[in-house]
Amino acid sequence: MRVLVVGANGHTGRRIVRLLRDGAHEPIAMVRDTTQVPHFGELGVATVVADLEEPLDPALEAASAEALIFAAGSGSETGPEKTLAVDRDGAIRSIAAMEAAGLSRYVMLSALRADPGSEGSPISHYLRAKGIADEHLRRSDLHYTIVRPGRLTFDEGTGKVELEPDPESGGSIPRDDVAAVIVATLDQKGTVRKTFDLVEGSTSIAEALSSL
């Protein structure tokens, strides 16, 4: 499949793009700044330039995409208004663009404890934004997979994960492994219309996903 990677220039997005390029699918990197294009050119990966705060239909069309991975986020350096504009509304805009294009396969990089009703956490505004976008996706007819990792680290990936850990235990996971799980879901029919929590663990990614 030709897979549009939204947030391709991010720490996890770049890992996703490389894995797709080295595997069975063809990534198209969506970036919002033309200075980011050469990096992907050097990898032999096509790009489209688009911003999640604008309609995404032209980007999907330009990419001739067949699937979409959402790995974007406003980040912790911006204010709550950007969290709403990117993590909530940008994600919802990408879901709408997929529906309008008649495309179905969508993989969402969400977050542990994403919840439309989140209260009492310093990042509740973020968890609500992600939770609302996830709910929107679940209500759609898209063939979605929603991956909810714990805290993302820069540790080297192990290829071993745990799905559905104790919700109270917190937990973290290398970005390498999140990217590997996200890419692997594309070839695992059992992950369609599923949501799962994800932290580092002791089960191979293939085995963990096949249990869904």
The CA-atom distances, in angstroms, between 47 and each of 4, 10, 27, 206 are 9, 14, 9, 29
**Out of 68, 69, 111, 184, which residue is the one contacting ligand NAP (CB under 6 A)?**
111
Can you tell me which residue has the tokens 């909810």? 148
Residue 11 interacts with ligand NAP (CB under 6 A): yes or no: yes
**CA-to-CA distance for 5 and 31, rounded, in angstroms?**
9
Angle at CA 66, nearest 5°, toward 72 and 26? 75
User: Toward ligand NAP, which CB reaches closer, 9 or 118?
Assistant: 9
Residue 73 interacts with ligand NAP (CB under 6 A): yes or no: yes
**Out of 41, 75, 80, 190, which residue is the one contacting ligand NAP (CB under 6 A)?**
75
Shortest distance (Å) from residue 70 CB to ligand NAP = 9
CA-nearest of 63, 85, 208 to 147 is 208
**Out of 20, 29, 60, 86, which residue is the one contacting ligand NAP (CB under 6 A)?**
86
Shortest distance (Å) from residue 52 CB to ligand NAP = 3
Which residues in the 154-183 window bind ligand NAP by CB under 6 A?
none
Q: Is 172 helix (H, G, I), strand (E, B) or coil?
A: strand
Residue 77 interacts with ligand NAP (CB under 6 A): yes or no: no
Q: How many chain residues interact with ligand NAP (CB under 6 A)?
A: 24
Residue 12 interacts with ligand NAP (CB under 6 A): yes or no: yes
Residue 68 interacts with ligand NAP (CB under 6 A): yes or no: no
**CA-to-CA distance for 63 and 124, rounded, in angstroms?**
34
Cβ-based neighbour number of residue 113 at 10 Å:
18
Cβ-based neighbour number of residue 156 at 10 Å:
9
Site string for ligand NAP, 18-37 (x = CB under 6 A): --------------xx----
Active site residue 144: no
Which residues in the 39-58 window bind ligand NAP by CB under 6 A?
51-53
- Residue of 70, 106, 126, 196 with catalytic role: 126
Query: What are the tokens at 208?
Result: 């963990």
Cβ-based neighbour number of residue 32 at 10 Å:
16
What is the Cα 129 distance to its own chain's centre? 14
Query: What are the tokens at 138?
Result: 């679940």
Summarize as ranges the residues that interact with ligand NAP (CB under 6 A).
7, 9-13, 32-33, 51-53, 71-75, 86-87, 90, 109, 111, 149, 151-152
